Amino acid sequence: MRRLDPIGVIEACYRQGDDAAWAGGLLEALAPLEQGCGAMAVAYAVPSLSVSVLVRRGEAPDVDRLVRSYQAAPPEILRSHLRPCPPVDRATRRGATTWPPVRDILAAAGMDDALGMMSQDHDGQAFFIWIPIHADRAPSPRTLHHLSLITAHIVSARRLRALDAAGAPPRTDAVLTPDGRLRGAQGRAEARAVRHGLSEAVRRIERARGRARREDADGALAIWHGLVDGEWSLVDHVEADGRRLVLARRNPPGGRDPKALTPGERAVLGYAALGHSNKFIGYMLGRAPTTIATHLASAQRKLGVGSRLDLVGMLASRGDGASSPAAGVTGSAPGPERRPPPAPPPAPAPPRARGCPWATGSPVPRSG
């Protein structure tokens, strides 16, 4: 039986293709978790639950009925079953199997539990993977932890895909070789500290994709963060001659700007509103948990509130967030709404890597 390759799942997050092909690739990478009843993936908006992508694999149950059931479900059901934190959970632990629509769908498939992976960003755009399982054959806590870290990459990858789908030419801020050598940079990526951070991140990712993926999955996942310094995604580009380069593209989380919060504070605040811990937010953004705590404390001072709960509750009362069916901090606290990032100002073309389309605005394939 094929074993789950967590690094392979992360690579699938960043592959190119239309939404259905991309979601299907994720399900294929997660196939070792299936227990004979397939899997499904659905992209939807919170709180409307309007579905934009629905993909099934294998003998997945009647997922259309499941989606319709949730679209008509009372708010308390949504808060309980679809809360974004923890990002990976079993249906039995959320009480979902006691709700008739879920219980009946699973029973018809000969299953009594399901594994759910929830990836939700600030703006309420969510992606949910549902894999029916037997309760007595549930994945180990270690596997659940691996899957939780993978959801951070799904969030970053979907935001990057949304930028590309908006129609603006993809902007690449730096080009590096797989060993971390810089081939060119522009804009913010020209700063020495940024160049150094990107080079180190590329080297860490290459270690994660090497022996570590087979011998130390925990360590490999720990060094491949959802973003670099809260701002950049690193994606592969293969030249016409077969050489592989790594492109750094700005992909920061957004959010409204109450009281002139910094971009870092807004990003942290948005994920805290979804119920995530400082440690998990740090993994998503590629920053230390102490930095996350500092950003939250600074936001509290600027907004004049005394605690994390007060901070999230204040955002909810101001209407500054997308209404989540279940933000884990307060039970239903919404996360800050994200505006599309502004188009970057024109910049002089930097020295370009030979044969690489990064300085021309040409579409760039992504594969991990």
Q: What is the pLDDT of residue 78?
A: 85
Residues 142, 232 within the same domain? no
At 257 the pLDDT is: 56
Q: Would 119 be classed as within a structural domain?
A: yes
The b/e string for 337-358 (b: 16+ C-beta within 10 A; e otherwise) is bbeebeeeeeeeebebbeebbb
Say which residues have a Cβ less than 8 Å from residue 109's Cβ, sequence separation at least 6.
Answer: 37, 59, 61, 132
- CATH of residue 272's domain is 1.10.10.10
Residue among 230, 334, 340 at smallest CA distance from 272: 334
Burial class (CB in 10 A: 0-12, 13-18, 19+), 301: exposed
Other beta carbons less than 10 A from residue 141's beta carbon: 8
The pLDDT score that the predictor gives to residue 25 is 97
The candidate with the shortest Cα–Cα distance to 225, out of 200, 194, 189, is: 200
Do 41 and 140 lie in a common domain?
Answer: yes
Last residue within a domain, chosen from 113, 141, 163: 163
96 with 136, same domain? yes
CB 131 within 8 A of CB 33: yes
Does residue 30 fall inside a structural domain? yes
For residues 307 and 320, what is the distance between their CA atoms, to the nearest angstrom? Answer: 18
Show the tokens assigned to 239.
């030249």
| Structural domain total, the chain | 3
CA-to-CA dists, residue 5 to 33, 118, 145, 246, angstroms: 11, 19, 13, 22
Distance CA 274, CA 120 (A): 8
DSSP code, position 228: B
Give me the pLDDT at residue 233, please. 97
Residues 262 and 246 in one domain: no
Cβ proximity of 176 and 202 under 8 Å? yes
27 and 51 in a common domain: yes
Q: Domain span at residue 122?
A: 6-163
Q: Is 189 inside any structural domain? A: yes
Q: 143 and 24 share a domain?
A: yes
- Given a contact cutoff of 8 angstroms between Cβ atoms, the answer to whether 40 and 60 are in contact is yes
Q: CA–CA distance from 102 to each of 66, 132, 173, 207, 321 (Å)?
A: 7, 10, 46, 41, 29
CATH number for the domain spanning 94: value is 3.30.450.80
271 shares a domain with 351: no
Residue 367 lies in a domain: no
CA-CA distance, 342 to 348, in Å (whole number)? 18
Residues 245 and 191 in one domain: yes
**Structural contact between residues 90 and 244, judged by C-beta atoms closer than 8 angstroms:** no
* Same domain, yes or no: 231 and 267: no
The pLDDT assigned to 362 comes to 34
Mapping DSSP onto H, E and C, the string for 43-98 reads: EEECCCCCEEEEEEECCCCCHHHHHHHHHCCCHHHHHHHCCCCCCEEEHHHHCHHH
Same domain, 51 and 151: yes
In a domain, 246, yes or no: yes
pLDDT value of residue 301? 86
Tell me what pLDDT residue 290 has: 94
The Cα–Cα gap between 352 and 60 comes to 47
Q: Are residues 220 and 280 in the same domain?
A: no
Q: Does the residue 368 lie in any domain?
A: no
- pLDDT at residue 334, as a whole number: 31
Beta bridge partners of 39: 57
For the chain, 368 residues long, the average pLDDT of each consecutive 10-residue run is 91 94 96 94 88 86 82 86 91 91 90 95 91 95 97 96 84 95 95 97 97 94 96 94 95 72 88 90 95 91 80 62 39 34 40 34 36
Task: Please check whether residues 347 and 329 belong to one and the same domain.
Answer: no
Residue among 42, 36, 40, 43 at smallest CA distance from 57: 40
